[in-house]
Amino acid sequence: MEDSFSPYFHFVDNELYCEKTPVKKIAKEFGTPVYIYSKNAILEKIREYKEAFKEYPTLICYAAKANSNLSILKIFQEEGLGLDIVSGGELYRGLKAEFDPKKIVYAGVGKTDKELIDAIDTGILSFNVESLMELDVLDELSEKVGKKADISIRVNPDVNPKTHPYISTGLRKSKFGIDMEDALEAYKIASRKKNLNIVGIHCHIGSQIMDVSPYEEAVEKLVQLVFKLKREGIELRHIDIGGGLGIRYRPEDNPPHPKELAEIVIPYIKETGLKLLIEPGRSLVGEAGILVSQVLFLKDKGDKHFIIIDSGMNDLLRPAMYQAYHHILSVEKKKEKVIADIVGPICETGDFFALDREIDNLNRGDYLAVMSAGAYGFSMSSNYNTRPRAAEVLVDGENFYLIRNRESYQYIIQPEINEKIQGEVK
């Protein structure tokens, strides 16, 4: 199984390669920690989605939050995809990457006035509105800007996506969207707003979904609402079912193929004749990325063996935040195995990537790869403990490109103001 974690990350003579490039070569050239992405793994996922949905008019809007590096965004833009954003910063990135504004959808429960105004001005495909108050504010701001805003209501279908509770978004008790039974009234309110155009309906039930049946439950409810709206004279152009398909974190995981999603939702969407929008994030980039680190120290304490590495929860938060499992491989295979805790340098007990894990018997200076780290890896990283964020590298066959410099200490403190030290008081 280790040899074939993915066709894009594979062993040649006991050494881990990304496509046709030895991972160690990149680590030596750019240092560690370093995120490494396979361009062709991303292109393959895009192809899988396009193929799966080709029989029905579908716009795939990549969820920028999963990995928003400009070079990664550019891959999706060049492939003709749209973009799902949740902040003014992601809008800024999306426009820098030259996404067509009419392919940008904007969700999020807490959009600021500035963020709304910028997006109104840009003329995006749809504001996915998450509360009645947001409808009021968006209407007022659209009037000020002098441009109508195209909107969808994000409906909360109260469906259990059977995933980690922190990433379940479509349950009534979560903060997201407007409850199903209040949605009709929300649409009626929206239809009376002079500066809003109703264009669609939106939902997103959660992330890392390993069984597509909750999508069926959600889409069935959405379609019923679409027909109810039609009877009220409210016509839509699209149904946006959000993202959420899971990926392979453990070797034995078997996530659903985009085809399974298409097969389960298209029959329902077809009945409405509306265009379909989907917002995958993790499933497009997650398995296409790894985080490579170097072993700093080994330490035995009681019956515990610790492998202390040079990346931590500031680089990859998922294990600390969701107790998420990430498979870890030695970049150069070793014959001997040990049971170890693989931990980072951060001053938090929760700063670990694996506990009591069987792993190759690594030594100081060896490299290891945390697999399936392309989504919600770098994008959730921070400068905690004043640690510069990692470099990022994109691999294409035997070529590789630095797509983000490792941060410097100077870069980290640059925005801070101290008259005596920096003399940059504004």
Ligand X SMILES: Cc1ncc(COP(=O)(O)O)c(C=O)c1O
> In this complex, which beta carbon is closest to ligand LYS, that of residue 184 or of residue 285?
285
Q: Which of 205, 195, 278 is nearest to 239 (CA)?
A: 278
154 is in an annotated binding site: no
43 contact choice in ligand X, ligand LYS, none (CB below 5 to 8 Å, kind-dependent): none
Determine the Cα–Cα distance for residues 290 and 8; give it in Å rounded to an integer.
11
Report strand pairing: 275-278 vs 238-240: parallel
In sequence order, the 6+-apart residues with CB closer than 8 A to the CB of 306 are 297, 298, 299, 300, 340, 341, 343
Q: Say which amino acid occupies 80.
A: G
Asked if 377 touches ligand X (CB under 6 A), the answer is: no
345 is in an annotated binding site: no
Torsion angle of alpha carbons 237, 242, 247, 249, nearest 10°? 170
Among 204, 221, 327, 387, binds ligand X (CB under 6 A): 204
318 contact choice in ligand X, ligand LYS, none (CB below 5 to 8 Å, kind-dependent): ligand LYS
Q: Is 238 helix (H, G, I), strand (E, B) or coil?
A: strand
Binding characters for ligand X, 261-280, by CB under 6 A (x = yes): ------------------xx
Asked if 207 touches ligand X (CB under 6 A), the answer is: yes
> In this complex, which beta carbon is closest to ligand X, that of residue 30 or of residue 106?
106
Asked if 93 touches ligand X (CB under 6 A), the answer is: no
In sequence order, the 6+-apart residues with CB closer than 8 A to the CB of 44 are 8
Q: Which two tokens stand for residue 273?
A: 């004749």
248 is in an annotated binding site: no
**Contacts to ligand X from residues 142-201, by CB under 6 A:** 169
DSSP codes of every residue in 9-63: EEEETTEEEETTEEHHHHHHHH-SSEEEEEHHHHHHHHHHHHHHTTTS-EEEEEE
Is the C-alpha dihedral spanning 411, 412, 413, 414 positive or negative? positive
CA separation (Å) from 110 to 115, 189, 196?
A: 10, 20, 19
Asked if 107 touches ligand X (CB under 6 A), the answer is: yes
78 is in an annotated binding site: no
Among 38, 77, 131, 283, binds ligand X (CB under 6 A): 283
**Contacts to ligand X from residues 292-321, by CB under 6 A:** none
> Hey, what long-range contacts does 44-51 have (CB within 8 A, 24 or more apart)?
44/8, 45/283, 45/284, 45/285, 45/287, 45/288, 46/75, 46/76, 46/79, 46/81, 46/284, 48/257, 48/258, 48/259, 49/258, 49/278, 49/280, 49/284, 51/258, 51/259
200 is in an annotated binding site: no
Report the residue closest to ligand LYS, judged by CB. Answer: 376
244 is in an annotated binding site: yes
Query: Which region, judged by CB under 6 A, interacts with ligand X, from 222-230, 238-246, 260-268, 327-335?
Result: 238-246
- Least distance from C-beta 318 to ligand X, angstroms? 12
> In this complex, which beta carbon is closest to ligand LYS, that of residue 117 or of residue 390?
390
Torsion angle of alpha carbons 20, 23, 26, 31, nearest 10°? 170
322 is in an annotated binding site: yes
| Size of site (CB under 6 A) for ligand X | 16
> In this complex, which beta carbon is closest to ligand LYS, that of residue 88 or of residue 377?
377
Determine the Cα–Cα distance for residues 241 and 280; give it in Å rounded to an integer.
10
Among 46, 59, 66, 328, binds ligand X (CB under 6 A): 66
Query: Which region, judged by CB under 6 A, interacts with ligand X, from 236-244, 261-269, 384-392, 417-425?
Result: 236-244
> In this complex, which beta carbon is closest to ligand X, that of residue 199 or of residue 295?
199
Q: Which residues pair with 214 in a beta bridge?
A: none
Asked if 255 touches ligand X (CB under 6 A), the answer is: no
Query: Which chain residues interact with ligand LYS by CB under 6 A?
Result: 65, 167, 169, 207-208, 318, 376, 380
The C-alpha R_g of the chain, in whole angstroms, comes to 23
82 is in an annotated binding site: no
Determine the Cα–Cα distance for residues 99 and 56; give it in Å rounded to an integer.
22
Active site residue 61: no
242 contact choice in ligand LYS, ligand X, none (CB below 5 to 8 Å, kind-dependent): ligand X
Q: What angle do CA 251, 50, 105 make, to 5 degrees?
A: 100
> In this complex, which beta carbon is closest to ligand LYS, that of residue 154 or of residue 193?
154
281 is in an annotated binding site: yes
Report the catalytic residues: 347
Residues annotated in a binding site for pyridoxal 5'-phosphate: 244, 279-282, 376
Residues annotated in a binding site for substrate: 282, 318, 322, 348, 376
Residues annotated in a binding site: 244, 279-282, 318, 322, 348, 376
Residue numbers of the site for ligand X (CB under 6 A)?
63, 66, 84, 107, 169, 204, 207, 242-245, 279-283
